Amino acid sequence: MKNFTLRQRIMASFLVILAIMTLMVVVDYRRLLHIESEAELINSDAVPGIYYSTSVRAAWFAGFVLVQDAYVQETEAERRAGLVGLPQSDKALDDLELAYAKTVMRDDDRKLFDDFQKALADYMRIRATLLTPEMLANPDLARQQIRTQLRPAFYVGRDILAKMVAENKKQADESALGIQAAVAEAKVGMITSLSLAIAAALICGLLLMRAIVNPMRTIVGTLETTGSGDLSRRLKLARRDEFNMIETGFNGMVDELTGLVGKTQRSAVQVATSVTEIAATSKQQQATASEVAATTTEIGATSREISATSRDLVRTMTEVSGAAEQTASLAGSGQVGLARMEDTMRNVVDAAGSVNAKLAVLNEKAGNITQVVTTINKVADQTNLLSLNAAIEAEKAGEYGRGFVVVATEIRRLADQTAVATYDIEQMVREIQSSVSAGVMGMDKFSEEVRRGMSEMQQVGDQLTQIIQQVQTLAPRVQMVNEGMQAQATGAEQINQALQQLSDAAQQTVESLRQSSLAIDDLTLVANDLRSGVSRFKV
């Protein structure tokens, strides 16, 4: 058994149990098939055979009773009435006979059924002789034939039917007993197979447990010895299964661990010595780093003061540069405004000249209107005279000139109104001419004032141009000074940042050295623990 691996042993155990269970399933399946066949035989043969055989026997008795009772009657009419149900009884017997024939499967049952059919044929032949009109008219002869021929034939069929019922009942009982026996055998087989499977499982389990537990005890004992510090013990299982791999791996691991412990013991002393030297060097470096950090802090404070002063100067020069740029911008805006105003004044002078020209044209037109009004006045005077002459002539005409007098009167009245209107127009034209003359004089004076203002604006523009040139010359210089101060402030800030970084680095160096010192102390403890720990191993 030692030549088999654990995997092979486990697989063999499972195969044994599986084979027993498979055999149990096959045997039980065959028994179940037998039970199924017996049950099918009962359902298709025995039970239907009992039912139809008893039904055929009942129909057999019913038909015989009808014939016998009919010939007991006194009159022929009563006898005929008693035989009315006979065809229906025969039909029921035929149907039951056909149904029973379908359930016949065994030779014994087939022989009995053939005998019954022969007996039925004899019975029907004898009964047919009893149903003739002669027999119906002669009941005594019919009853004599019933006693001597029909009743013995009936008894023959009755006995055969009794045997058929008994045969079907016997078959049902045998099938039931077969099913009970098969069930009992199945129970015994299942219990036996289950017992064998349990026994096989217990035996295989015990063998597997013994194959695993014994080597495990040896391994645990060796591990306890190795855990106590004795590295000289090795596993010797003498197995060819998976435990052989464990043995080889464990012994190799112990060999490697033995070499490692030896090297560790030698290295522990060297580590302790080196740690002591590193601790002394670390303390010296920590003191030096503390001095560097203090010096860097002082330089950083001075650099921050320089940086703050530079920032103030940069802010002041920025304000001066902004003021210069704003002054130049305002002066430029003023110059642009003066140029626009000069253009506007030129436009005003041109507009004043245009207005003077328009006023001259208006004065000329007003003179023309005066001439027209004078002409209208003359026409009105002439019309008035003509109307007066017409009136005089109409008076001379007497009755015939009365209508013309009225017309002349109206013409004179219109001429008077025209004269009054032309006078009003003349007055208004004179007022327009007076206003136009005053407007021309005012526009001339306004044009003169505008020309004088343009001259003064040109002088102011020249002065603003000089101011702008001076301010524009000043702005680049202020910008240069501002850029220089910004560069100085930036340099001071960079120096401050560099010193801050240097200070942080110095602080970090001090902290690192302090942590290194703590780590060295911990390393010293670890080295001592390592030396004391490996000293307990027996190589």
pLDDT at residue number 150: 92
Instruction: State pLDDT tens for residues 198-221.
Output: 888 888 778 777 777 777 777 787
| Same domain (yes/no): 190, 305 | no
Q: Which residue is associated with the tokens 């039909």?
A: 91
Please indicate, yes or no, whether residues 366 and 306 belong to a single structural domain of this protein: yes
Q: Is residue 44 predicted with pLDDT exceeding 60?
A: no
* 330 in a structural domain: yes
pLDDT of residue 9 exceeding 80, the answer is no
Q: What confidence tens digit (pLDDT) does each residue in 419-475 have?
A: 787 888 778 878 877 877 887 787 678 777 767 877 776 776 777 677 667 766 766
Confidence of residue 46 (pLDDT cuts 50, 70, 90): low
- pTM for the structure as a whole: 0.35
Q: Once rounded to an integer, what is the mean pLDDT over residues 314-332?
A: 70
Which residue range is the domain that position 27 belongs to? Answer: 6-205
What is the total count of domains within the chain? 2
Can you give the CATH number for the domain in which 362 is found?
Answer: 1.10.287.950
Does 372 share its domain with 488? Answer: yes
Q: How many CA within 13 A on the CB side of residue 32?
A: 7
Phi, psi angle pair for 230, to nearest 5°: -90, 105
Quick one: 109 and 19 in the same domain? yes
Does residue 244 lie within any of the structural domains? no
177 & 272 share domain = no
Residue 189 covered by a domain: yes
| Residues 191, 317 within the same domain | no
Domain end among 162, 182, 205:
205
Across the range 62-89, mean pLDDT stands at 89
241: three-class secondary structure by DSSP: coil
* Torsion region of 241: left, alpha or beta (phi above 0 gives left; psi -120 to 50 gives alpha): beta
Looking at residue 121, what is its pLDDT? 94
Output the pLDDT for position 215. 73
Distance from C-alpha of 183 to C-alpha of 199, rounded to nearest angstrom: 24
DSSP conformation class of 4: S
Residues 385 and 467 in one domain: yes
First to last CA, the chain: 36
Judge whether residue 1 has pLDDT over 60.
no
Query: What is the arithmetic mean of pLDDT over 316-322?
Result: 69
CB distance 9 to 208 below 8 Å: yes
Residue among 343, 431, 347 nearest 355 (CA) = 347
Position with higher pLDDT, 478 vs 470: 470
Task: List C-alpha distances in Å: 441 to 69, 295, 367, 445.
Answer: 173, 92, 18, 6
In this model, does residue 243 exceed pLDDT 70? Answer: no
The pLDDT value recorded for residue 72 is: 86
- Does one domain contain both 30 and 161? yes
Dist CA 19 CA 500 (whole Å): 86
Most confident of 148-162, 223-237, 457-471, 521-535: 148-162
With a CB cutoff of 8 Å and minimum separation 6, the contacts of 331 are 464, 467, 468, 471
Cα 20 from Cα 366, distance rounded (Å): 149
Closest C-alpha to 479, from 251, 329, 320, 286: 320
268 shares a domain with 159? no
In a domain, 125, yes or no: yes
**Predicted confidence band at 271 (pLDDT cuts at 50, 70, 90)?**
low
Whether 246 is covered by a domain: the verdict is no
Tell me, what amino acid is at 51? Y
* Cross-strand pairs, 230: 538
Distance CA 310, CA 479 (A): 16
Provide the pLDDT for residue 429: 73
- pLDDT exceeds cutoff 70 at 285: no
What was the pLDDT predicted at 534?
62
d(CA 401, CA 333): 89
Q: Residue 224 falls within a domain, yes or no? A: no
Q: What pLDDT score was predicted for residue 538? A: 64
Q: What confidence score (pLDDT) does residue 265 get?
A: 66
Least confident range from 287-296, 350-359, 380-389: namely 287-296
Say yes or no: 87 and 192 in one domain: yes
Answer yes or no: do 201 and 281 share one domain. Answer: no
Stretch 180-191: mean pLDDT, rounded? 80
**Residue 301 pLDDT exceeds 90:** no
Amino acid sitting at position 466? Q
pLDDT, position 60: 94
Residue 192 forms part of a structural domain:
yes
Given a cut of 90, is residue 124 above it in pLDDT?
Answer: yes
What is the model's pLDDT at position 467? 67
Same domain flag for 359 and 448: yes
Predicted pLDDT of residue 529: 75
CA distances from 349 to 13, 94, 435, 445, 461 (A): 131, 150, 21, 11, 19
| Separation CA 106–CA 112 (nearest Å) | 10
* Per-residue confidence (pLDDT) for residue 115, from 0 to 100: 94
| pLDDT for res 88 | 92
Q: Is residue 409 part of a domain?
A: yes
